[in-house]
Structure formats: C-alpha cells, structure tokens
Amino acid sequence: MRTQVAIIGSGPAGLLLGRLLELACVQSVILESRSRDYVLGRIRAGVLESGTVELLERAGVAKRLHEEALVHDSCGIAFAGGQLSIDLKGLTGKSVTVYGQTEVTHDLMNARAASGAPSVYEAEDVALHDFGGTSARVSYRHQGVAHEVACDFIAGCDGFHGVSRRSIPASALKIFERVYPFGWLGLLSDVPPPWHELIYANSDRGFALASLRSPTRVRCYVQCSLEDRVENWSDEQFWDEFRRRIGDEMAARVPNAPSIEKSIAPLRSFVAEPLRFGRLFLAGDAAHIVPPTGAKGLNLAASDVLYLYESLRSFYREKSERGLDEYSPRCLKRIWRAERFSWWMTSQLHRFPDDAFGRRMQETELEYLFESRAAQQSMAENYVGLPFEPMGGS
Ligand code: FAD
Ligand code: PHB
C-alpha cells in the first residue's frame, strides 16, 4: 500500500489530523493497535478550549458538539472554607466547552468512516522504517498477515506509550520530565451535577475536582496514592472522601450515586524535544504529557495537529518545506506554556508529602488568587487557552 501520510494512532490527535488532511485532499492511512471500541471506552479529558472547538468546526465535525456540549463562562477554586468563581468570560472574553474526549473521538471516527478514508484497527507490531531520508515505510500485522505502507511522512500520534517516539534514536531527543508523587482517582456517574461550574479544590486531605460531562453525568476526581488500586475504593468511600475535600459550599449537595467507571491515572509532566526526526513528526501525547489539572492535554494535542496539518498542506500545495522545518519550534512554544500552567495548577492544588514550606506557599498563592483580579486574569487567560502561533511567524 502507498499513501502520503501514515498516521500512527487513532486517538484525537491522529483522527483530527487525518480529517484535516482529507479536507485538503492529502491521503492518509491510520494504524491503531487497539480496537475501535477500546479506544472509545477510555474515559479521559472533558474541557475544550475555544481554539479546539474552532478547529473541530473547521474539520466539519462540530455539529453534535454544538447541540450537546455545555459552555462554561467560569470555573471555581475551593480553598480554606471559601469558594472563588473565576469569571473566565469577563476576564478574557472567552469560555470553555465541556464535551468529553470520548465524544470528540466518536465524531471524528464517524466522519472518517463516512468518507471511506482507510483506518486499520488492531494493527499489531507496528514498526517505523527509513524515516531519516526523503520517504518512509511502516510495517504491521493485521489478522496474522504482514503488511507494509510506503509513505512520504509518518505522523506519530500514538500517545505516551506508543512506538513512534521510541523509534527515534535516544541521542536525537532531549527529555524533560517531572513525575508527581500521587495520582487521580476518577469516577463517572449518571447523576445531574449539583455544580454549575467545574470546582478545583485544595483541601488538607488533598486535591479534588468536581467536573461533568452533560446535564445528567458527573465526572469527579480525588488525589490518591500511587499505590492505591481502584478495587480498594468503593463508590461510597469515594463520595465520602470527595465530600470532605470539595468545600463546605458543595459538600452537602454531593450525591452518593453509583459509578459507571472508575480509574486511576498517574500525574506526569514530560516533553521530548524536538518533535521531528527526518520524515517522522510527533504530535500530542507522543511528544508531551501534562498533568490533567489544567485540562490542557487534549487541547495541546489539537494545536500540534493544526500546526502539522498546515505544514503538510503547504508542502503538498506550495512544495515548501518551511512549515515542516518550523513545526517543532512552533509547537514547543505553546507546549512549554501549557506545561508551565499545568505544573503551576498541580503545584498549587495538591497535597505534597512532607513539604511544610510548600504548603505555606500554596496558602499564600491561593490567598493572592482570591484577592487579586490580576492573578485571576492570568489564570483565566491560560485556562481558556493561549492563542495559536501563526505559521511563518506572520
Ligand atoms: P492518545 O489519546 O493516547 O491516543 C494515542 C492512540 O495511539 C491510542 O488510541 C493508542 O491505542 C494508539 N497507540 C499506542 N501505541 C500504538 C502503536 N504502537 N501502534 C498503533 N497505535 C498505537 N487530559 C485532560 O485534559 N483531562 C483529563 O482528565 C485527562 N485524563 C487522562 C487520563 C489518562 C489515563 C490519560 C493517559 C490521559 C489523560 N488526559 C487527560 C490527557 C488526554 O486524554 C490526552 O492528552 C489526549 O488523549 C492526547 O491525545 P493523543 O491522540 O495524542 O493520544
Ligand atoms: C474532566 O472532566 O475529566 C476534567 C476536567 C478538567 C480537568 C481535568 C479533567 O482539569
């Protein structure tokens, strides 16, 4: 098989890239190691920046989003018995959109299926070859049969544990990493949310987040130990702990609703530089990870994809390699800003072991946030999403 761009991974990054390329008449094949149902069953992000929503509109996959998604003009911070509502809209003119990653993935998968563009699910032993030169190859096995795709470019959209980043010689990559000493236990439940905005809580017992997916579905998290196991948390224990952390204003209204999903995610900050090696381009979690506290992971994957799409379109339309050369530095500027914000949110809101000085810093920082409009504006500006970098710096 021959194609122009071989895309590894059918998460939001791979699917969105495939869709944008298709609209620009650039061919692609998506190779995904898991099944379609497995990919759709993963519960992950829930908050979209307005730039991400605009990109989904541009990709022609935002119809259901506009019918079903919830637009939030504020978000809350609970701390020391008080609750601050940050007026995102008033401070920045922008809102955020609550629409699950599962739904984004679903809409993109449906659009690809309707267009007939090729995707291979349950592709085994995906391996990248010869991408240091002027073309590349990807081999894989499907239902026991060996296949090979010859291509101009490979887009490594296969997440943090994927094969793409690992295929680049270690000496060509610089890795920056911070692993946090805790995780998030998340619970999904079909119950109407008693909160009208997301609430991020810093409590003496650790972090908690009240989020939602729809008018009838909540998503909540509590900071947990890395040794914790989902099986050790009954739904009742989760809600008891969540109530103790979320702040007095909300605690009495928290339901004891049964879970439909529970999972634990470790927290990590990670960046691999650069995002390009020859004909291989990394995008999304394959190149960087943020802790979920700032809701940036999915949004950052979307901006990488926009930049890669623009670079590839300019290559095919104008025979220009300039966009491809600029891809990595252009991405890294926005990546590091999102890394900074996610690290800051994580640092201010979680309980760190044996860190009395750090605790005082959190108290001081959050008091300042509660009192200063300037501090709230800075947080709001980052939370709603910083602007995309134009191509060619223009
Ligand atoms: P992914 O969504 O990881 O997609 C990569 C795809 O590549 C997957 O489908 C994978 O199966 C496939 N793949 C992997 N290896 C191979 C291979 N060898 N060959 C072919 N295919 C392969 N962000 C938030 O903002 N809020 C959250 O609450 C949140 N929770 C998260 C919880 C977890 C457990 C994780 C892992 C991430 C979470 N994130 C969250 C981050 C957000 O979901 C990611 O940033 C987003 O999924 C990135 O999209 P992606 O397409 O780059 O990667
Ligand atoms: C979620 O709804 O899953 C969610 C929302 C905001 C975050 C992280 C996760 O910062």
Q: Rounded distance, CA 68 to CA 103, Å? A: 10
Evaluate whether 9 touches 156 at the Cβ level (below 8 Å). yes
Atom of ligand 1 at shortest distance to CA of 158?
A: 7
Atom of ligand 2 at shortest distance to CA of 219?
A: 2
Compute the C-alpha angle 117/122/127, nearest 5°: 90
pTM: 0.97
Evaluate whether 154 touches 308 at the Cβ level (below 8 Å). no
Which residue's CA lies nearest to atom 35 of ligand 1? 44
Evaluate whether 117 touches 23 at the Cβ level (below 8 Å). no
Catalytic residue flag (residue 121):
no
Taking alpha carbons only, the member of 282, 383, 277, 286 closest to residue 338 is 383
Name the burial class of residue 4, with classes exposed (0-12), middle (13-18) and buried (19+) by CB atoms within 10 angstroms of its CB: middle
Evaluate whether 117 touches 64 at the Cβ level (below 8 Å). no
Does the CB atom of residue 293 touch ligand 2 within 6 A? yes
Predicted pLDDT of residue 394: 47
Q: Give residue-wise pLDDT tens across range 155-182.
A: 999 999 999 999 999 999 999 999 999 9
Q: Give residue-wise pLDDT tens across range 199-248.
A: 999 999 999 999 999 999 999 999 999 999 999 999 999 999 999 999 88
What mean pLDDT value characterizes the chain?
Answer: 97
Predicted pLDDT of residue 205: 96
**Percent above pLDDT 70 for the chain:** 99
Ligand nearest to the CA of 193: 2
- pLDDT-derived band at 392 (thresholds 50, 70, 90) equals confident
For a ligand 2 pocket test, name from 198, 202, 344 the mutation site with the most ligand atoms within 8 angstroms of its C-beta. Answer: 198
Does the CB atom of residue 75 touch ligand 2 within 6 A? no
Evaluate whether 339 touches 290 at the Cβ level (below 8 Å). yes
The two three-digit tokens of residue 344, written as one number: 């800051």
Q: How far is the CA of 267 from the centre of ligand 2 (A)?
A: 13
Mean of pLDDT values over 6-10? 98
Q: Please say if the pLDDT value at position 357 is more than 80.
A: yes
**Edge-to-edge strand list for the sheet holding 96-98:** 47-48, 96-98, 70-72
- pLDDT-derived band at 249 (thresholds 50, 70, 90) equals confident
Taking alpha carbons only, the member of 291, 307, 309 closest to residue 393 is 307
Does the CB atom of residue 292 touch ligand 2 within 6 A? yes
Q: Please say if the pLDDT value at position 184 is more than 70.
A: yes
Q: Give residue-wise pLDDT tens across range 49-89.
A: 999 999 999 999 999 999 999 999 999 999 999 999 999 99
- pLDDT-derived band at 305 (thresholds 50, 70, 90) equals very high
Atom of ligand 1 at shortest distance to CA of 304?
A: 52
Mean of pLDDT values over 14-43? 97
Atom of ligand 2 at shortest distance to CA of 296?
A: 10
- pLDDT-derived band at 122 (thresholds 50, 70, 90) equals very high
Predicted pLDDT of residue 393: 63
Q: Rounded distance, CA 381 to CA 379, Å? A: 6
Q: Please say if the pLDDT value at position 90 is more than 80.
A: yes
Which residue's CA lies nearest to atom 7 of ligand 2? 295
Mean of pLDDT values over 324-344? 98
Taking alpha carbons only, the member of 179, 153, 184 closest to residue 265 is 184
